[in-house]
Structure 1
Amino acid sequence: MSFWNASTRRPFAGATIALCAGIVMLSTFPAAAINSYNASPAPERTEVGALIVRWDDDADPATPDRVDWECSGTMIDRDTFLTAGHCTSDWPAGARFYVSLDQDVQSALDSAAAAHPGDSPAVAAAAGVEGAARTDPGYPGPSADPHDIAVIQLPAAAVAARWSFTPAVLPTAGELDGLGPRQLDATPFDVVGYGTQEAERGPGGQTHPGGGTRMKAPVGFDALNPSWVRLAMTQPQGNGGACYGDSGGPNFAAPAGRPVLVATTITGDSPCYATNVAYRLDTPAARSFLAPYVALP
């Protein structure tokens, strides 16, 4: 599965990818939210935002485009929003991308829709700032490294006029490798995003409620692979975790007390109870993609 926005029911571009850790990304699932357990609102994480997309969902030019938040992400400098490659791929021609740093992006969209009925460009512009998507040209790559990374290039002045934030700190080259297993086990990790909650079963089957509000939750270190960090979401250990809509959102580690954006949420188990599989940002591939857009430490 990929943690795409479940509200769209739009398949993830890239078919089925089996991760070496045994997790499978299924193309039938879109991206999601932070679990309800051991989670809390994150108004202080002002650099974390939501990716809004405006697109033609019925191929009828006479009807308004659809506007919805789809994924999560992070400002890594004044004009660069980091997200996942599967969040910016496989859209109909003419899709437009916007970023919101509001704490409650769903309410912002609802208010914009009420103020501009039937005017999808005005709704999108009221809820977010438009930018240009740049997806890693290697996406979708093999399971060992799918190059599932993208940025939205934004007009810095327009972002600054609407929101105040301090860009996230990126990791140095090989920073997670340098920590070693014991220090990784002892390092606090947090995941942040706008996604839905863990699965609930009801008369209509399994659903994922919630989503659209910036939340955070602690996660525990599980395993490190060349392109991935696996983070435990198990409730009894005090962890929370990511779900649908959290794709592209940040996973912070604080080995020295200062949060560093070490990975972005990509996938996990479909009920959103066990594992968050996140794409590392300290690898040569990730750093090579990011280098033209941001100054790397």
Structure 2
Amino acid sequence: MADLAGAVTYGELDNGRHPNVGALIVKSEKGGKRQICSGTLLQSNVFLTASHCTSDLPEDNEVWVSFDEDVDPVNAETKLYSGHAVTNPEYSHRQSDTGDIAVVLLDESVKNIKPAELPTENLFNEMAEKGKMKDATFTAAGYGVQEPVNQPGGPIFPYDGLKRMSVSEFNALNATWLRLSQNNAAGNSGTCFGDSGGPNFLGAGSGATNIIAGVTVTGDSMCKATNATYRLDTPSARTFLGKYVILP
């Protein structure tokens, strides 16, 4: 199985285009805080991310979320919202349906940020039946490392804590996964380490929407080929999310 995926590669600075996309921050081993994943505001006090980001948290599940464009967890100027993570009880490492989505229930409502939207049930099956998936594009947004830079000792993945966005074309669809091309040679960009749980919005450019098609979960180890996202229009995803938000 490919490595867990993360940030935005071959993309550009978000520059405020996705204010509802935030960074997931946890306690560090030395008692401070560190950013590990990304996610999206679904409701004023509900933040969506991935279960593999939350499943190994301490028992109290205490986390923080920031929607700043430049996130530095140890900088007092970074706005942090405290909350507690809820890992999907169906989360597993099986291939067919990992259940790899989680939520953070925030201690206070986030004001002045419009939450993202969820897709209707089986939206992408319906689009595929009508032949509308093959030309579909998607916009990822998140924080974390960028594309690898080759060094004498091997590649490094630069990190600066800035929110970025990228655009990918449709690759494949199955019962659980929406796979997106991030082949830069074909004009695509994508995700890499540090941004798991981040959104992949339906559409790009003038056709961009506020609808999250899938949550970034996994991809190839060098972040150059495919972004595998967990679909949010499936019955299993909706069963979990329906406990915390109103479903479309």
TM > 0.5 fold call: yes
Distance 1:192 1:257, change over 3 A: closer
Tell me the residue number matched to 1:275.
226
Tell me the residue number matched to 2:8.
34
- 1:242-292: per-residue Cα shift (whole Å, max 9, x none)? 001110000011397533111000010111111100000000100000001
Tell me the residue number matched to 2:121.
173
Residues 133 and 152 of structure 1 are in contact (CA less than 8 Å); yes or no, is this contact kept in structure 2?
yes
Tell me the residue number matched to 2:90.
138
Tell me the residue number matched to 1:263.
214
Q: Distance in 1 between matches of 2:203 and 2:190?
A: 17
Q: Distance in 1 between matches of 2:219 and 2:174?
A: 15
Which is greater in Rg? 1
- Pairing partner for 1:290 from 235, 238, 241: 241
Distance 1:98 1:38, change over 3 A: closer
Tell me the residue number matched to 2:198.
249
- Pairing partner for 1:101 from 61, 64, 67: 67
Higher deviation after alignment, 199-208 or 145-154: 199-208
Residues 39 and 240 of structure 1 are in contact (CA less than 8 Å); yes or no, is this contact kept in structure 2?
no
Matched positions, count: 245
Residues 119 and 211 of structure 2 are in contact (CA less than 8 Å); yes or no, is this contact kept in structure 1?
yes
Q: Distance in 1 between matches of 2:94 and 2:106?
A: 29
Unaligned runs of 5+ in 1: 1-23, 58-63, 116-125
Residues 139 and 208 of structure 2 are in contact (CA less than 8 Å); yes or no, is this contact kept in structure 1?
no
What SS is found at the alignment partner of 1:97? Answer: strand
Higher deviation after alignment, 271-280 or 256-265: 256-265
- 1:163-210: per-residue Cα shift (whole Å, max 9, x none)? x21110110000011101631122221111102112222123221112
Q: Distance in 1 between matches of 2:198 and 2:12?
A: 15
Higher deviation after alignment, 80-89 or 90-99: 90-99
Residues 51 and 73 of structure 1 are in contact (CA less than 8 Å); yes or no, is this contact kept in structure 2?
yes
Check if 1:128 corresponds to 2:80.
yes
Deviation at 1:94, TM superposition (A): 4.6
Q: Give the structure-2-normalised TM-score.
A: 0.92
Distance 1:89 1:257, change over 3 A: closer
**Amino acid in structure 1 at the alignment position of 2:98:** P
Q: Distance in 2 between matches of 1:267 and 1:185?
A: 21
Deviation at 1:43, TM superposition (A): 1.4
Residues 1-297 of structure 1: pairs in structure 2 closer than 5 A:
24-26=1-3, 31-35=5-9, 37-55=10-28, 57=29, 65-94=31-60, 96-106=62-72, 109-112=73-76, 127-157=79-109, 159-160=110-111, 164-180=112-128, 182-254=131-203, 258-297=209-248
Between 1 and 2, higher relative CO (CA 8 Å, sep ≥ 6) is seen in: 2
What SS is found at the alignment partner of 1:74? Answer: strand
Q: Report sequence identity in percent.
A: 40
Tell me the residue number matched to 1:12.
none
Q: Give the structure-1-normalised TM-score.
A: 0.77
- 1:203-258: per-residue Cα shift (whole Å, max 9, x none)? 23221112411111110100001110000001132211000111000001139753
Residues 39 and 218 of structure 1 are in contact (CA less than 8 Å); yes or no, is this contact kept in structure 2?
no
